[in-house]
Amino acid sequence: MKVFKQCKSSDYNNLLQFFGDTNDNYNPSLSDRECGIEGFIDKWREKDGIAVICEENDKIIGSIGYWHEDDSVHFNWIGVDNPKRSFVPIRLIQKMFQEDTSLVNKRGYARTWLNNKKSQRFMERLGGKRITDEDLIHKLEQIQGPLKRKSIWYEFDYKESYQKLKRILN
């Protein structure tokens, strides 16, 4: 049975294990980023981040993490142990909205990578609007040379995203 719940500090080691197990699902992998897996989680913790996890047989199989910043919310990650578990990210977001009702009154921001088309489609399905222009990335590369990170940012109106989520679940 799958259990969706808010992550507690006692879940930290399991969360670290989850990211180690799913490292290659991220593009680029978390271990290839300058801060590594632990730095990735530490950044979220420093921001008083909130996470929702999905457990099956006492093992995390999916997780979503975010933090509040002024009047907005920054999505840090969403991940599953197996990309075939397509329902888990939707249920994690549903649980996130149930646990944190203030989200529906905020704007949100999320970043993905230029070459991660699956993530881009998922964000657009939930109402995310791309606010980074690919042409800008290419222009920066012409000036600065190859960029280490080619990020695309999305902006969300969470009230709209929540309505889209409810339609997906019905």
Q: What is the pLDDT along the chain (170 residues), one digit of tens a residue?
A: 889 999 998 998 999 999 999 998 887 788 888 788 888 888 888 889 999 999 999 899 999 999 998 888 988 888 899 878 788 998 999 999 999 988 888 999 988 888 888 889 999 999 999 988 777 667 767 776 776 667 888 999 988 988 888 888 87
Cα–Cα distances in angstroms (integers) from residue 162 to residues 48, 81, 118, in the given order: 23, 24, 20
At residue 64, the pLDDT reads 94
Report the candidate in 1, 36, 43 with the shortest Cα–Cα distance to residue 19.
36
Predicted pLDDT at 65? 93
Q: What pLDDT does residue 148 have?
A: 66
Q: How many residues does the chain have?
A: 170
Rounded Cα–Cα distance for residues 88 and 83 (Å): 9
The residue behind tokens 């999505």 is: 75
Q: What pLDDT, on the 0 to 100 scale, is given for residue 166?
A: 86
Predicted model pTM: 0.83
Backbone angles phi, psi at 50, to 5 degrees: -120, 140
Residue 72 burial (10 A CB sphere; 0-12, 13-18, 19+): middle
We report the CATH number of the domain holding residue 14 as 3.40.630.30
Overall number of domains in the chain: 1
Per-residue exposure over 22-44, b if at least 16 CB sit within 10 Å of its own CB, e if not: bbeebeeebeeeeeebeebbeeb
pLDDT at 113: 82
Range of the domain at 137: 2-169
Instruction: Report the SS3 class of residue 168.
Output: helix
Residues with Cβ < 8 Å from 142, sequence gap 6 or more?
none
**Residue 34 vs residues 20, 24, 28, 91, 158: alpha-carbon distances, Å:** 15, 15, 11, 30, 30
